[in-house]
Structure 1
Amino acid sequence: MNTLNHFETPQLELLHRGKVRDSLRAPNGDRLIIVTDRLSAFDSVLETPVAHKGAVLNGLANFWFDKTRDIIPNHVIELVDANAMLVKEAEPIRVEMVVRAYLTGSMWRGYQQGQRTFSGVTVPDGLSKHQQFPEPIVTPTTKEESDREITPENLVSEGWVSQELYDQMKEKALALFKVGSDLLKEKGIILVDTKYEFGLLNGALILIDEIHTPDSSRFWSAEDYAKNPESAEQMDKEYVRQWLIANKVDGQYPRALTPEVSQEATRRYLDIYERITGQPLPTANEPTVGGDVHARLVGNLVRAGLMKDA
């Protein structure tokens, strides 16, 4: 299988290896983000990479960054490869702004167990699975080894952000969510929930990381939701999460995907890319066997002047 599981080179300093992204220092001091085909679920990186996944995430993030520049500046300088983005170096804010429009996922699981307050937001009794909220809600979490639900008040008191900065992040997150929801609605897709990450560049708030991708967001088919809300088609990596849940052994999730599940995950990633952008992924026809994503990436980094000819 032709996948990009990680990227490193002695020519560029490795700054950080996250669950999905590898960050390196570009020669001029900017940051080079390589979006790999690694897949993370339940705070763990699976052993099985998913073909084309990194290019889908990178391409969709670039699509949405471009669509939302009028709401908030972002860190993008240039898309240098299907799997690589050159970005401005920002000071990350260690908070995820999670916006939810429906009762589902981890929130629904907590709700079933009697939880009614989530990151300081209280929801009423009597709600059903996948029910839409009257208005989207913001349920922030900290960015730690394991993300932690936290109230806005505690974010301020613990020193994560100032009240002024939190208010600005909340305002921008809701504005971004509205733009995403409106555009996707035209394509028959519901933006169920998502997370946004922000940073500071020269003291100003900017959008970083990714936006409205299948890894950072939950998507449903609007047609399916209208027919039966509780069985709406999930057009994101929830498919993989549900497979992991169904195949737990002695309370442990599988560490690897079967070939069939990996291939179906690839199909879903490619499908959501085309549905959102209206175009197939440019690199979708690269052979999954015998091709070389790594060689293509290196060639594009050399052409962009970020590496010397290897």
Structure 2
Amino acid sequence: MNTLNHFDTPQLELLHRGKVRDSFRAPSGERLIVVTDRLSAFDSVLETPVAHKGAVLNRLAAFWFDKTRHIIPNHVISLPDPNVTLAREAEPIRVEMVVRHYLTGSMWRGYQQGQRSFSGVTVPDGLTKHQQFPEPIVTPTTKEESDREITPENLVAEGWVTAELYEQMRVKALELFNFASQWMAERGIILVDTKYEFGLYEGQLMLIDEIHTPDSSRFWSADDYARHPEAAEQMDKEYVRQWLIAHKQDGQYPRALTPEVSAEATRRYLDIYERITGAPLPIGNDDVQARIVGNLVRAGIMKDADVKAKTL
């Protein structure tokens, strides 16, 4: 199955190659973000790309950016290709605004070990795994080599943000979360937790990065949660994480997925896209690399389709 592992072209300056996204400088000065099919788990990029994953992430994020424009402006200018976003160059704020509505994941692991304060939010004793909080809570982290929990007061004291800017981010993060939670609830999906990233553009707060995707959020089926809440299965890339855990040897996770696991991961990404948007992701058997080049040429971002990008 045709996949996109890396994107390179001599025509565009490479700004950054992340775990999943490759960023370039567009001729107009904006940022061109190519979302690949790479999959990251446990702070490592696997050797096996997952077909259509990049298009799911890019188009689903674009779907949500469009749906939430009434809450806050975002960095999207256009989508010249299903895997590509042309974005405004905002100054990123090095804080992740993590919003949680259920006790799960790393927070549950800390809770089991006696932790009761999370980024300045105190939760009571006696809670159970996957229990819903009365209201969503915001537990920010820093964006560093290794992200760390931090209180809003320490974010301000360490100079990450001003108190006024943090409060803007907190309010907008909760507005975004509540809007998406209601949307998904109507479609039988629980938005368990997610993270938001913001930047400043011409002095104004702007939503950047991605929003409500399977890589940045945790989803549960509402029916599954109602039947057995403490064992509700995640509708995101947790399936791959659990496979890696089950096949760990000598303290090392597998570096590659089997064809069967990769195919199932693709099915799950396509399924969550359709369940959220109400329409299947348009997919084809075309060469993703060639398609991107052709679309960038038509958008005036690249000059000549004969100048080929290459896959590493």
Does the TM-score normalized on the shorter chain lie above 0.5?
yes
Cα deviations by residue, 1:81-100 (Å, 9 ceiling, x for unpaired): 01000010100011110000
Output the amino acid matched with 1:110. Answer: G
Counterpart residue number, 1:81:
81
* 2:111 alignment partner, SS class: helix
The aligned amino acid for 1:292 is D
Cα distance in 2 for residues equivalent to 1:105 and 1:85: 30
User: How far apart, CA to CA, are the structure 2 residues paired with 1:254 and 1:126?
Assistant: 37
> Which residue pairs with 1:173 in the alignment?
173
Query: For residue 31 of structure 2, what is the aligned residue in structure 1?
Result: 31
1:215 deviates by 0.3
**Which residue in the other structure is 1:46 paired with?**
46
Aligned to 1:243, what secondary structure does the other structure show? helix
Q: Percent identity?
A: 83
1:226-241 correspondence runs (5 A): 226-241=226-241
User: Is the 1:25–1:32 contact (alpha carbons within 8 Å) kept by the matching residues of 2?
Assistant: yes
Q: C-alpha displacement at 1:231, in angstroms? A: 2.0
Letter in 2 for 1:280: P
User: Aligned-pair distance for 1:224?
Assistant: 0.8
Distance apart, 1:247 and its partner CA: 2.1
**Does the alignment pair 1:295 with 2:287?**
no
2: CA distance, partners of 1:100 / 1:203: 28
Question: What are the superposed Cα offsets for residues 27-54 of structure 1, whole Å, 9 maximum, x if unpaired?
Answer: 0101100000011112211111110000
Q: Which residue of 2 aligns with 1:273?
A: 273
Rounded Cα–Cα distance in structure 1 between residues aligned with 2:162 and 2:23: 27
The residue correspondences of 1:3-152 to structure 2 (distance < 5 A) are 3-152=3-152
CA distance in 2, matches of 1:24, 1:49: 21
Name the SS for the 1:200 alignment partner: strand
- Give the partner amino acid of 2:150: I
The CA deviation string for residues 142-192 of structure 1, in whole angstroms up to 9 with x for no partner, is 111221111111111111111111110000000000000000000000000
Q: Secondary structure at the match of 2:2?
A: coil
Question: How far did residue 134 of structure 1 move?
Answer: 0.7
**SS of the residue 2:210 aligns to:** coil
What's the counterpart of residue 310 of structure 2?
none
Q: Does residue 202 of the first structure (1) align with residue 202 of the second (2)? A: yes
Distance in 1 between residues matched to 2:254 and 2:115, nearest whole Å: 28
Partner of 2:187: 187
TM-score by length of 1: 0.96
Match of 2:225 in 1: 225
How many residue pairs match? The answer is 305
Residue 309 (structure 2) aligns with: none
Partner of 1:306: 301
The letter for the 1-side match of 2:294 is G
What's the offset of the Cα at 1:304? 0.3
Deviations 1:85-127 (A, max 9, x none): 0010100011110000001111111212222211111111111
Structure-2 separation of matches of 1:22 and 1:75? 16
* Structure 1: runs of 5 or more not aligned: none
Alignment partners' CA distance in 2, 1:260 and 1:114: 39
In structure 1, how many angstroms separate the alpha carbons of the residues matched to 2:106 and 2:246? 16
Task: Indicate the SS of the match to 2:92.
Answer: strand
> d(CA) in 2 for partners of 1:245 and 1:139?
26
**3-state SS of paired residue (2:125):** coil
TM-score by length of 2: 0.96
- Partner Cα distance (1:104, 1:126) in 2: 14
Question: What amino acid maps onto 1:183 in structure 2?
Answer: W
What are the Cα deviations for residues 216-272 of structure 1, in whole angstroms up to 9, with x where unaligned?
000000011111102223111111122222222232222221211111110000000
CA contact (8 A) 1:43 1:146 kept: no
In structure 2, what is the Cα distance between the partners aligned to 1:250 and 1:151? 37
CA distance in 1, matches of 2:259, 2:149: 34
- Secondary structure of the residue aligned to 2:77 is strand
Within 2, Cα distance between the matches of 1:158 and 1:246? 40
1:242 matches 2:247: no
Tell me, yes or no, if the aligned pair for 1:80 and 1:300 is still in contact at 8 Å.
yes
- 1:97 and 1:196 in contact (8 A); partners too: yes
